Amino acid sequence: MIGDISASSTAAPSAYAVEGHGLVKTFGAFRAVDGVDIAVPAGSIYGVLGPNGAGKTTLLRTLLGIIDPDEGERRLLGETQPLRMAREVGYLPEERGLYPSMKAFEAIAFMGALRGLPLRTGRERAKAMLDNHGMGAAIDKPIRQLSKGMAQTVQLFGTIVHEPRLIVLDEPFSGLDAINQEKLEALIREQARRGVTILFSTHVIAHAERLCERIAIVAGGRIRFEGTPGDARDQLRSQVRLRTRTSDGAWRRALPADTMAEEGAWHFALPDEGIEPLLRALIDGQAGIESLSIERPGLHDAFVAIAGAAIAQQMRRDDAPEEDA
């Protein structure tokens, strides 16, 4: 921690950096957060995944204390009033914004000063951060002369220059090219190695699959799944792809009922009893196995299945005719 920033609270240490219980937030008739329970382990990288409009941003802002819930309780770094812990948090909102005439290192120092970091210390750290990450040539450049990726990196550095205990990033990969996305992933891992808790939202599943220890899938303002990426993948059955030299025979009866033929191959979900009984039937029936692969579903497949089912259910509920009183 930074020596010249005093603790903002005497809250007792907790196993969770962020907690929410029964959170509800409505805007008119719209329920943006609908009874959410969430607990982010301290020191973890935690992803909130969901399609656009799922309620991710509202949930993050509610947890941070930027907006208050209509119902429920939240705790941030052990404090029941989240804004008291503002100096311990680095927050990068989805809407980016920097003063275009401000020099890169000054912009970083200014953002740190908003969290109580002395400007002199912020300037020193800003120059070191830019130089260590290959952006030394941009130190004295005004923001308007930077590329979009470089400007976003400057804003990210401003989010972490005061060395927060918790970093919250709302759609941090949005608008970045592949190279800058990779750099951001490396920076997130670097902060996690320091013991910082990282909470970020995204609808780009690949980043969550590579980075996150735990995830929450949000759709329609509710958490539809919470657990590890592996747990999410396990919600779906593995898929089998089989190619045979013969196209018919007694062995066909051993194929599961959900088998589909596509591009000269058979596709079906892995049977509950495993692949061995089917293999015996294929060999005994002389099907002539050319190739057989078992593919475990990816996090993207699980996300689509979980969020898609929730959205479809919500749409059916919204479209249902109202019953007469």
Q: What is the CATH number of the domain that holds 193?
A: 3.40.50.300
Given a cut of 50, whether residue 2 has pLDDT beyond it is no
Residue 267 pLDDT level (bands cut at 50, 70, 90): very high
The answer to whether residues 219 and 108 belong to one domain is: yes
Q: Into how many domains does the chain fold? A: 2
Given a cut of 70, whether residue 203 has pLDDT beyond it is yes
The answer to whether residues 77 and 41 belong to one domain is: yes
What does the pLDDT average to over 31-39?
95
309 found inside a domain: no
Global model pTM greater than 0.75: yes
41 found inside a domain: yes
The answer to whether residues 36 and 115 belong to one domain is: yes
The answer to whether residues 183 and 246 belong to one domain is: no
- pLDDT for position 15: 92
Q: State pLDDT tens for residues 244-266.
A: 999 889 899 999 988 998 888 99
Q: State pLDDT tens for residues 140-174.
A: 999 999 988 889 899 999 999 999 999 999 999 88
110 found inside a domain: yes
Share of the chain above pLDDT 90, in %: 68
The answer to whether residues 42 and 188 belong to one domain is: yes
From the number of C-beta atoms within 10 Å of its C-beta (0-12, 13-18, 19+), residue 188 rates as: buried
Distant-in-sequence, close-in-space partners of 250: CB < 8 Å, separation ≥ 6? 285
- pLDDT for position 54: 87
Q: What share of the chain is helix, strand, coil (3-state, %, to 5)?
A: 40, 25, 35
- pLDDT for position 7: 39
Question: Residue 71's Cα: distance from chain center in Å?
Answer: 24
Share of the chain above pLDDT 70, in %: 91
Q: Are the beta carbons of 215 and 300 closer than 8 angstroms?
A: no
Q: Which residue has the higher pLDDT, 29 or 13?
A: 29
Last residue of a domain, one of 184, 209, 233: 233
Distant-in-sequence, close-in-space partners of 9: CB < 8 Å, separation ≥ 6? 77, 78, 79, 84, 85
8 found inside a domain: no
- pLDDT for position 53: 84
- pLDDT for position 312: 52
Please name which of 20, 17, 168 lies closest in space to residue 90, comparing C-alpha atoms.
168
The DSSP bridge partners found for residue 293 are 241
324 found inside a domain: no
From the number of C-beta atoms within 10 Å of its C-beta (0-12, 13-18, 19+), residue 159 rates as: buried
The answer to whether residues 37 and 104 belong to one domain is: yes
Residue 318 pLDDT level (bands cut at 50, 70, 90): very low
Given a cut of 70, whether residue 60 has pLDDT beyond it is yes
Residue 314 pLDDT level (bands cut at 50, 70, 90): low
The answer to whether residues 262 and 276 belong to one domain is: yes
Residue 10 pLDDT level (bands cut at 50, 70, 90): very low
Strand order in the sheet with 71-76: 30-41, 16-27, 71-76
190 found inside a domain: yes
The answer to whether residues 114 and 259 belong to one domain is: no
Range of the domain at 105: 16-233
Last residue of a domain, one of 233, 261, 277: 233
Residue 225 pLDDT level (bands cut at 50, 70, 90): very high
Residue 120 pLDDT level (bands cut at 50, 70, 90): very high
The answer to whether residues 214 and 291 belong to one domain is: no
The answer to whether residues 122 and 263 belong to one domain is: no
Q: How far apart are the first and last CA of the chain?
A: 60
181 found inside a domain: yes
Across the chain, mean pLDDT equals 88
What does the pLDDT average to over 212-220?
94
Q: State pLDDT tens for residues 291-303.
A: 999 998 889 888 8
Q: Are the beta carbons of 163 and 12 closer than 8 angstroms?
A: no
317 found inside a domain: no
* 3-class DSSP state of 150: helix
The answer to whether residues 191 and 209 belong to one domain is: yes
The answer to whether residues 109 and 184 belong to one domain is: yes
